[in-house]
Amino acid sequence: MSKCLRDDALLADAHMVAALITDDLISADRQLDVMGGSAGAILGLLRLYRDTRCGDVLARAARCGEHLLGERRVGPQGRRSWSRPDSGKALNGISHGAAGFAYALAALAAATGREDFALAASECVAFENSSYDPGRHNWPDLRGDEDMRWPSQWCHGAPVSVWHASPWPGCPGRIRRF
């Protein structure tokens, strides 16, 4: 917004907000995902870092990534993601699922050059790919225990694949698309 509005004061505000993402807050994060956790913080911090090249901002994003790597992941080795705190299930999609984790970690790997972030991102991509149903040209919504649902929304299902069609910076793999 600072560039669009030609208002450098907005960058100062962004730095103040970034400083609120403390080590204690990062350590306390249990949601983890793009919508409300460390993965989302990574994306916001990396945007600020790209605009300012402030090393402290990149270091804070890396601490968010390290927090993710320190949390338990579900799935077989090479095809894992993080689970929801309320259900213990790993999900597909951007907002709460493996696609969002993959995006955040791939971007963080590109910014830091760290292979551990790239490896975790590729495991999330493999998790997403493993649940793709070619007959439905879609991914299931894994949130419920009832019958499998196959929505077509921005955060779950086939529209996610359109977003994945373009490569991310440093993306270690690609999510299937129909």
Q: List pLDDT tens digits, range 114-155.
A: 999 999 999 999 998 888 888 988 888 887 767 777 777 766
Query: Terminus-to-terminus CA distance in the chain, angstroms?
Result: 34
CA distance 103 to 107: 6
Which residue do the tokens 């983890």 mark? 32
Q: Which of 45-49, 68-72, 78-82 has the lowest mean pLDDT?
A: 78-82
CA distance 161 to 175: 7
Q: What is the pTM of this model?
A: 0.86
Mean pLDDT of the 59-83 span: 93
pLDDT at 177 over 50: no
Dihedral angle, C-alpha 84, 171, 76, 92, nearest 10 °: 40
pLDDT at 55 over 50: yes
Give CA separation, 145 vs 87, 88, 89, 142, in Å.
10, 12, 10, 8
